[in-house]
Structure 1
Amino acid sequence: MTTTSTNDQTPPVQVRGLSKRFGQLQVLAGVDLAVQRGEVVVLMGPSGSGKTTLIRCLNFLELADAGSIGVCGVQVRRGGKPLSRAEQHLVRQIRLRTAMVFQSFNLFPHMTALENVTIGPLTVQRVAPAQARDQGLALLAKVGLADKANAYPGTLSGGQKQRVAIARALALQPELILFDEPTSALDPELRDDVLAVMRDLAAEGMTMLVVTHETRFAREVADRVVFMEGGTIVVDAPPEQFFGDGASERCRQFLGRLN
């Protein structure tokens, strides 16, 4: 069963009973999660807890085995079967309304920074080349890379590549951005530039679901911190509670290993 909704009050993310198994390994075990419009929600947890699989299921890079997935007003109910033609159409709608920033950047190496940013509007939205170029240059300036428009990814630092990836994500004017450990592949001195861009997006009201172990970002920017373990959500709390004296012993143990 699939439905669409144009109600602005519908949460950009609303999943119920989401389950996913890889062979004998249960990666997601009945996850329920909602993200409200304009919220920044940080997903934390040990390796293998299901964080990345969860966000990949939201844009159907992974197919959940069961559960209801609602993203930006489009709802798909999973039953373990391959996607029907009608469901494939709805997945395309979800991908038009969302963007994802990956740990490994995923830039096209044979394209300049500007070409990487404009390829989506040009090929998906059929934007006129001059308009796409102007928008792309503005987005590169927004992430502090106005002088790198004609640079190829191989000449950029890791932090610069990730900022180009964020500009590319913004090019399609998404309602929701999914971040999968966007700073984990970066040297410490390069992380701050990427996190600064993400802070600015949060301040502008962008809805963001972020897998990260950046505790300072979670403390200062997140509206909620969701802690996952064993394919389930163990804690869903505002940062002052998650990092405060009332935090659970398991969360304190996890955070202690990050410091």
Structure 2
Amino acid sequence: MSQDSPKVAVTSLVKSFDKLPVLRDVNLEVYAGEVVVILGPSGSGKTTLLRSLNFLEQPDSGTIRVCGHGISIARGQPLSREDKQQITQLRQKTAMVFQAFNLFPHKTALENVTEGLISVRKMEKSQAIARGRALLKQVGLAEKADSYPAKLSGGQKQRVAIARGLAMEPEVIFFDEPTSALDPELRDEVLSVMRQLAGAGMTMIVVTHELRFAREVADRVIFMEGGAIVANEKPAVFFDDGASPRIKQFLNRY
């Protein structure tokens, strides 16, 4: 795990929806090879923070730097042309895995994985197909290459979504509640793939309620409440040694 400069750096991030504060002066750094899990109650700002990192949500103010591409946002100021170029470059270095899979229903598993390679990266179709098949094999779905999403279980859909993200060779993957729509057996399929990625050194930021995953795989656990980061600890401290009464109360619910 490199400690040279952070892969993700967030400074003084603020975001409101209809004057309701959702992120309050959030500061965070994530280094190469780190797995950072974000926990917190519903409405704490976890997903908004994650979506702000690749500008699926535009913050009101603050600075975001991801994989060497930085944008400073001033309240009330539109994004400049250079800012938009930075966002495009930032997105090319990251991947997002969503709770709802977001697969193309009219495309097979293989076509979902290769779509970005062909349309965005302009890769030769034969080369993209070879890479797509290798990635489906990596997530345990080689035999489902020609299946459409409607014929896949939730866990299989999420693994296809992970393969699709990996196809673009991201430096950082953001996971937004990747297992919350799945039953326990299917959750384990997805978490197993995520463990493999962590073991291979992928930088990951994961919003989840999977406490066992956080305890066993995370390098750091972030706890958010009321739009702010109220704890940023190693798992041993977060779960065992230094948990505040509020965090203990939260953990006892799961």
TM-score by length of 2: 0.97
Q: In 2, are the aligned partners of 1:10 and 1:72 still within 8 Å (CA)?
A: no
| CA distance in structure 1 between the aligned counterparts of 2:92 and 2:108, rounded to whole angstroms | 23
* Superimposed CA distance per residue, residues 139-172 of structure 1 (whole angstroms, 9 cap, x where no aligned partner): 0000000000000000000000000000000000
Residue 245 of structure 1 deviates from its aligned partner by: 3.6
Residue 200 of structure 1 deviates from its aligned partner by: 0.1
| CA distance in structure 1 between the aligned counterparts of 2:79 and 2:144, rounded to whole angstroms | 40
1:49 is aligned to 2:53: no
Q: Determine the structure 1 residue equivalent to 2:232.
A: 236
Report matched runs for 1:63-212 at 5 Å.
63-80=58-75, 81-212=77-208
Matched position secondary structure for 2:253: helix
Residue 46 of structure 1 deviates from its aligned partner by: 0.4
- Structure 1, unmatched stretches of 5+, are 1-7
Residue 188 of structure 1 deviates from its aligned partner by: 1.1
Residue 84 of structure 1 deviates from its aligned partner by: 1.8
- What amino acid maps onto 2:167 in structure 1? A
- How many equivalent pairs are there? 251
Q: Determine the structure 2 residue equivalent to 1:248.
A: 244
- Structure 2, unmatched stretches of 5+, are none
34-43 or 239-248, larger mean C-alpha shift: 239-248
Q: Determine the structure 2 residue equivalent to 1:40.
A: 35
Q: Determine the structure 2 residue equivalent to 1:213.
A: 209
| CA distance in structure 1 between the aligned counterparts of 2:87 and 2:70, rounded to whole angstroms | 9
Identity %: 63
Q: Determine the structure 2 residue equivalent to 1:5.
A: none
| CA distance in structure 1 between the aligned counterparts of 2:22 and 2:233, rounded to whole angstroms | 22
- What amino acid maps onto 1:131 in structure 2? Q
Report matched runs for 1:4-19 at 5 Å.
9-19=4-14
Matched position secondary structure for 1:64: coil
| CA distance in structure 2 between the aligned counterparts of 1:156 and 1:231, rounded to whole angstroms | 36
| CA distance in structure 1 between the aligned counterparts of 2:242 and 2:167, rounded to whole angstroms | 41
Q: Determine the structure 2 residue equivalent to 1:4.
A: none
Matched position secondary structure for 2:41: coil
Supply the RMSD in Å over aligned alpha carbons.
0.9
| CA distance in structure 2 between the aligned counterparts of 1:112 and 1:141, rounded to whole angstroms | 15
Residue 82 of structure 1 deviates from its aligned partner by: 2.7
